[in-house]
Amino acid sequence: MVLLVVYSCDKVDQTALIKVDDDVITLTTFKDQYQKHLASVPQEDNLLSRYSFLNKLIDEKLILRYAVLNELENDSLYVKTIKDIYQQMLLNYYFDQKINEDFMVTDLEARKFFAWQNKRIHVRHLFSRSQQKIMALQERLLSGNENWDTLAFECFQDSILRSSGGNIGWHDFDGLDPVFAYHAYSLNLGEISDIVRTSDGYSIIQLINIETNGLLTENDFQLKKEKLTDAVKYFKQKKRLVNVTDSTSISLNINFNRNIVEQLHSSIISVGSNQVESLYKETLVSYRNGSWSVLKSLQRLSSLSERQLSKIITPLDLEQSITGLICREKFLNDAKNKKIFQNISFDKDFSAEKDKVMIKHVLDKLNKNQIGNGIGIFEEKYSSFRDELMLNTIVMIDSATVKRFTL
């Protein structure tokens, strides 16, 4: 049995707008989440939208209560997902303190980005993940003894980039890595850049052509100024992140056993190879106050996304990926030592993320027929599941406040 009670209350902001048994959602909480919802979807504020979102929050309360009663927080998939999210959030908060300082943005910087966002550029580049290799490529290019296309053929694995001289075509400013874009757009037509350090590696860029899209007005600039300021800050943050990662890598004094790297890389790319296991106990990399065996390195690499793993083509790529993971572990330890997890804001955000993950986890299990009666399409299964959750539940809604509150 479900009992739905509609009531009215004069003291609204911190009074319960919705009660699901003992769980309470205040008007302040509802308005905060509702406004974020409206900002993320093309939907107007009206009574239908309010009740639709209100029902969504009620459903979420019911699902989370179901998860607790059935101890779903112990499911291995959920535990792993939460562990990954916890670590990523620790890193985000850590970098907010270490990197994302309140960068100052001048009017001149904002106007420069404004002009760039009204242009498209055609560029090509030489690339390496190794600073030593890109410096050697630059030296050979400047000597004049070897042409650009020859060097591009040597430094790229991708057949299209090799045959086209590293030509990456036409791009808008927002379609490129922020640091790469900044240096590419700073070039004059035909000019070649110095070595540019990006989050992917090192590039030498040449501007081939440029297009300007119409006239710009002062009014256009003023309308976009806030977003332009954010774009400049984002560029500065990305640039500082690269610098911090590089300096951390240097300070850790990371050294690879190149022979083992070559063997491991060869074993990984050889389909059906069973040589990897024989390398498990070998030390692959050592660094200040630590080392990783081949087995430990493979375990850490398994945390990377498919997109990140697809970039590991050469032994050098393997080294760069492991270097990044070692730095990541150092940053995580620093974050834990700073007790960032005790931050009130962190605790609130992490709790909200845990709820989102659990709700998705329950709905995924429902969709896979692991819970519920497993009959019909998902909408039918969910409707039946929700009816079960509502049994013996008392839901109370302050309908008068729902109708009259203002955003």
107-249: CATH architecture: Roll (3.10)
Q: What ranges do the domains of the chain cover?
A: 2-84+346-404, 107-249, 253-337
166 SS3 class = coil
- Please check whether residue 93 is in contact with residue 337, taking contact to mean a CB–CB distance below 8 angstroms: no
pLDDT of the residue at 273: 52
Which of 295, 395, 363 lies closest to 63, judged by CA?
363
pLDDT of the residue at 88: 92
Q: Which amino acid is at 12?
A: V
- Residue-wise pLDDT for 329-341, tens only, equals 999 999 999 888 8
Query: Domain 2-84+346-404 sits in which CATH superfamily?
Result: Porin chaperone SurA, peptide-binding domain (1.10.4030.10)
pLDDT of the residue at 303: 87
Alpha-carbon distances of 139 from 92, 144, 146, 148, 184, rounded to whole Å = 38, 9, 10, 12, 20
pLDDT of the residue at 308: 85
- Residue-wise pLDDT for 219-234, tens only, equals 989 988 988 998 898 8
Dihedral over Cα of 118, 120, 123, 129: its sign: positive
Tokens of 78: 């959920």
Strand partners, 7: 398
- Neighbour count for residue 85 (Cβ, 10 Å): 15
Cα atoms in the Cβ-side hemisphere of radius 13 Å centred on 295: 6
Query: For residue 255, is it left (φ>0), alpha (ψ between -120 and 50) or beta?
Result: beta
- Residue-wise pLDDT for 328-376, tens only, equals 999 999 999 988 888 888 999 999 999 999 999 999 988 887 776 655 6
The rounded distance, in Å, linking the Cα atoms of 93 and 183 is 28
Q: What is the mean pLDDT of each run of 10 residues along the chain (407 residues)?
A: 49 72 90 91 90 93 93 94 93 83 85 92 94 93 92 92 95 90 94 92 95 85 90 87 88 94 83 72 94 94 87 87 93 91 89 94 87 70 87 88 89
Which of 66, 64, 58 lies closest to 33, judged by CA?
58
The rounded distance, in Å, linking the Cα atoms of 330 and 351 is 25
- Please check whether residue 65 is in contact with residue 394, taking contact to mean a CB–CB distance below 8 angstroms: no
Give the DSSP letter string of 348-397. HHHHHHHHHHHHHHHHHHHHTTSSS---SSHHHHHHHHHHHHHTTEEEEE
How many residues in the chain? Answer: 407
Which of 152, 114, 111 lies closest to 134, judged by CA?
152
Q: Which amino acid is at 344?
A: I
Give the DSSP letter string of 2-67. EEEEEE--S--TTSEEEEETTEEEEHHHHHHHHHHHHHHTT---SHHHHHHHHHHHHHHHHHHHHH
List all residues 6 or more positions away from 106 whose beta carbon is below 8 Å from its beta carbon: none
The rounded distance, in Å, linking the Cα atoms of 394 and 5 is 7
pLDDT of the residue at 305: 86
